[in-house]
Structure 1
């Protein structure tokens, strides 16, 4: 197998791992009618698990300490990817289905490109911003239609606001980590982020430990998002990008919302919804076109 094909398969593995984050998080937190682990505990617990594994990895790989100029981006990545994204996602998934969340979070690749244009001072083509605006409009229309179907009138639900906040937090965290990946190394970036968070996540896990009985499936879901979504998935994803090339392998991300939607059927008992699948396809199409135009313009 060539390095390019190996990279593609590793990229697909990373996308599959990340796609299961939505149904697994909903399984861990439960719903508003049948709550399980609190979103706070899931946020701290998953990061604490990843932090312990990261500490072992950094020790045995004899990784160097982050330099002064690398610590700022690591902290921003910590805020976005360790706290912001999982916490906002966890609260939202108590009130909306994983399939619903998959449509909103499908905007993440475009949001990441937009964050890169802002934080890394890249000039994207006008077409990129057009498709970014179109994708955002599609998500807004989907949310309004969902609210109307639920009998809430034509208005965005607060859960959708949380999902949008999660997308923004994750995109800022991704770009902050990307800025120091060339100097620190991709796998070590996520590992240092998780280790730096341990002084917060370990006490947070202890203070928010559930006092009521929790279903075994919720504990297993927490184990998944801590070990795989927060840590091991990045190893497969970053290695795939390195071997297969970012341009080719990153396109596998377009499959992520569909994997999330399909996985939610057997895992959570959700039904396939024509409107959800249709809007997911339209949003993914805007992401595909937008990312093709995200390359910087010549100055």
Structure 2
């Protein structure tokens, strides 16, 4: 927040023309200097109100980002539900289609301004990573991986995003940054190898590529939040996906075998489309814009642990002891990375 100018500096000092006689008001103010004193408190009042509202705005931004993270934490269990009735390609493109249709209604109803032409290439990068690549690859991975396993691996996302942002801006991360990032990556790799019997599975490869794509999408979306609102970033990115979502869903439904929609499959599909893809991202980017990227992104530390909890409550999965331990180890590494960047 920029420092407010002083009352004198902002108002200036009025100097009468040479030879002019002071009027009655000037004479009165000279006799009673206190009469002009209220001007300073009146000018300082907006600064005081701004200072008081800043913490409230920051708290509101953190709350919005945290709600977005809660939405994200349900993504893998909901995706697993959707796979009960749809194939991975059908689930992905139906999810994208539903989210894009809802976003079209949203931007039309609220008359969300269209981003400038210079923003569209970066909106495309954000959409291709967060709204297409990550959902498709993680859905493919969940055919063979448990949601708990996927949650731990994808827990590296904040580290991957921080690394992408550093490379994107030309920054030179410190040794502490690299040490913590490599330690977090080593913990996840060790966990994946332990769970898969010593060799990475196809699901792990899908999750690894999904991390890279989503990191690029998150970073570019967060960068756009400095110029656009969260609703603009999410809404228009999804609207731009419609030309891909419509034929993609039609082809996938026609060619991919499926068991037919079940209650779980429909509920899971509706959640990943409306809850994760639209509502969650809108809350997330809004929180980033209000509280600042550095502060609001801290809330994502809780996502892997929340997903582990949902995998037990909603899917009845049995957690190995290594899953929560690795998630906590990654959380510590992320905290060290973020502290080294501030």
**Matched-pair contact (CA < 8 Å) for 1:112–1:171:** yes
Q: Larger radius of gyration, structure 1 or 2?
A: 2
Shift of 1:125: 2.1
- When structure 1 is superposed on structure 2, of 155-164 and 57-66 the one drifting more is 57-66
CA distance in 2, matches of 1:261, 1:211: 27
**Contact 2:187/2:326 (<8 A) preserved:** yes
Pairs within 5 Å for 1:135-154: 135-148=184-197, 154=198
Counterpart residue number, 2:285: 238
Check whether the contact 1:21–1:229 (CA below 8 A) recurs between aligned residues.
Answer: yes
Choose from 69, 72, 76 the match for 2:125. Answer: 76
**Please, which of 51, 71, 90 is the counterpart of residue 17 of structure 1?**
71
Q: CA deviation at 1:140?
A: 0.8
Rounded to whole Å, the distance in 1 between the matches of 2:111 and 2:64 is: 25
Deviation sequence 1:245-268 (CA, Å, 0-9, x none)? 433332221111010000011211
- TM-superposed CA distance for 1:242, in Å, is 3.4
Q: 1:252 aligned to 2:299? A: yes
**Distance across 2 between alignment mates of 1:258 and 1:142:** 15
Q: Find the residue that maps to 2:227 and give its secondary structure.
A: helix
Partner Cα distance (1:212, 1:99) in 2: 24
Shift of 1:211: 5.7
> May I ask how many residue pairs the two structures share in their alignment?
285
Q: Which of 271, 286, 290 is matched with 2:337 structurally? A: 290
Task: Pick the aligned partner of 2:252 from 208, 212, 217.
Answer: 208
Could you tell me whether the CA contact under 8 Å between 2:225 and 2:288 is conserved in 1?
no
Q: What is the match of residue 229 of structure 1?
A: 276
Q: In structure 2, the residue corresponding to 1:182 is in which secondary structure?
A: coil
RMSD: 1.8
The answer as to whether partners of 1:39 and 1:91 remain within 8 angstroms in 2 is: yes
Give me the whole-angstrom Cα distance separating, in 2, the residues matched to 1:77 and 1:4.
Answer: 25
Would you say the 8 A contact 1:73–1:179 is kept in 2?
no
Query: TM-score if structure 2 supplies the norm length?
Result: 0.79
| Residues 159-182 of structure 1, C-alpha deviations (whole Å, 9 max, x = no match) | 111111111110111122223222
- Residue 103 and residue 288 in structure 1: after superposition, are their counterparts in 2 closer, same or farther (change >3 A)? same
TM-score (normalizing by structure 1)? 0.90
Q: Give the gaps of 5 or more residues in structure 1.
A: 31-35, 149-153
* Secondary structure, aligned partner of 1:208: helix
- 1:82 is displaced (CA, Å) by 1.8
- Offset at residue 215 of structure 1 (A): 1.6
SS at match of 2:171: coil
What do the CA deviations read for 1:28-82 (whole angstroms, capped 9, x no partner)?
124xxxxx31111121111111111211222233233332321111111121112
Taking the aligned partners of 1:273 and 1:211, their CA distance within structure 2 comes to: 30
Q: RCO greater where, 1 or 2, for CA within 8 Å and sep 6 or more?
A: 1
1:33 maps to which residue? none
Partner residue, 1:265: 312
